[in-house]
Amino acid sequence: MSTTTVTSAQAPGEAGPRTATMMNGKTFTFQSNVSTTLAKIPIIDAARIWSQDLAERKALAEEIREAAHEIGFFYLVNHGIDMKYADEAMTQAKRFFAMPQEKKMEVFTGLVPNEYVGFHPMECYNRNGWKRQDLSEAFNWGYDAKFDPDATPAALAQKSPSIWPSDLPGFQEGVMAYHAQLLRFSRRLARIFALALHMPEDYFDAYTAQPEAGMRILHYPEQEHSVDEQNGIGAHTDVESFTIVTQDDTGGLEVLGKDGHWIKATPVPGAFVVNIADCFMRQTNDFFVSTIHRVVNKSGRERYSVPFFFGFDRSMRLDPIPSCVDETKGMPPMKYPVITAGEYYEWRTNRQKKTNTFNEEVQGKAS
């Protein structure tokens, strides 16, 4: 879930670095709005995630450890997920966004307190305070144990917070089929992350039995205005532990490098783009990097993407990973107060949703 807001300290179009304060309390500086392909995001072969050989899984974990620490973004290829599920999710996304606005507004996110689920209309947010609103629309849903083949009895007893459109047969089934594939993959990836943090492979198993596993579909029209005036989605970080992005071949995703320049995350056929999110950054005491990213669609055509946001059980405390606060190994003391995953999710969700410009419109019609 991308719910970080950035307020620029310098007006769009001005020369020189810009410093901004984010909703998670951190500040960042970027040198210009021009993106480059000179710097590269690591491409990692994920086939070893399914290996029965612990040494192979550990070797994969070390590659992921380096990428998660250095840039917080990486591609995964040969991940083993049949992309027919992704194709179907993209098809369903196009069906949903083609519906009339009034039908989409029947599942407006403002109707569901404390949750990021539902429809987020076009130009309802302005994450960076640019001259024009972010040019995208989205539909979000959350974890539903009914669609989880590995659901626990406790999870099945919980009601999903999601709301679904009417008169769109096959939509929920189409997107949830892909959700189930990514859920299985993410639990496996969480075990690789445990190895990457030099912890036992099953360290996160208790966190992932009933995960915070949200997903969204996004539609970005082609932007006519300059990047100084508008983004598809403004610069932000994600909330949960990590995000798996399925993007079409349009391009537009950009990552902020450590040098303050934007790096294009050029589409790689059949690959996932994985990025670290804020809850993982907190738990790893900033060893893993939750990197700022945005979307700028100047391709001349529409863009669609399907991000999957994998986080830990909302009831679980975000205790620091022991290997990340081990002073005998030169690690710093814990930088963050310990809260539950659910407390952090709710705080960030409500901060973002309050900025949705459609709130007053819907409340006015309801009164």
Say if 85 falls within a structural domain: yes
Say if 2 falls within a structural domain: no
User: Given this model, what pLDDT does residue 4 score?
Assistant: 41
> Across the strands, what pairs with 27?
21
Q: Which amino acid is at 307?
A: P
Say if 46 falls within a structural domain: yes
- Whether 32 and 251 have beta carbons less than 8 Å apart is answered as no
The tens-digit pLDDT sequence of the chain (367 residues) is 544 434 444 444 445 677 665 666 667 677 777 787 767 899 999 999 999 999 999 999 999 999 999 999 999 999 999 999 999 999 999 999 999 999 999 999 999 999 999 999 999 999 888 899 999 999 999 999 999 999 999 999 999 999 999 999 999 999 999 999 999 999 999 999 999 999 999 999 999 999 999 999 999 999 999 988 999 998 899 999 999 999 999 999 999 988 888 999 999 999 999 999 999 999 999 999 999 999 999 999 999 999 999 999 999 999 999 999 988 888 899 999 999 999 999 999 998 899 999 997 766 565 4
Q: What is the CATH number of the domain that holds 119?
A: 2.60.120.330
Supply the range of the domain harboring residue 28.
Answer: 23-366
- Whether 76 and 151 have beta carbons less than 8 Å apart is answered as no
User: Given this model, what pLDDT does residue 34 score?
Assistant: 79
User: Given this model, what pLDDT does residue 7 score?
Assistant: 40
Say if 10 falls within a structural domain: no
Say if 7 falls within a structural domain: no
Mode of pairing for the β-strands spanning 272-276 and 73-77: antiparallel
Token look-up 């710093």 returns 332
Say if 17 falls within a structural domain: no
Give the span between the Cα atoms of 23 and 127, in whole angstroms: 10
What is the residue-wise DSSP string for 308-357?
Answer: EEEE--TTSB-PPPGGGS-GGGTPPPP-S---BHHHHHHHHHHHHHTT-T
User: Given this model, what pLDDT does residue 109 score?
Assistant: 97
- Whether 73 and 275 have beta carbons less than 8 Å apart is answered as yes
Say if 96 falls within a structural domain: yes
User: Given this model, what pLDDT does residue 173 score?
Assistant: 97
Q: How many domains, in total, are found in the chain?
A: 1
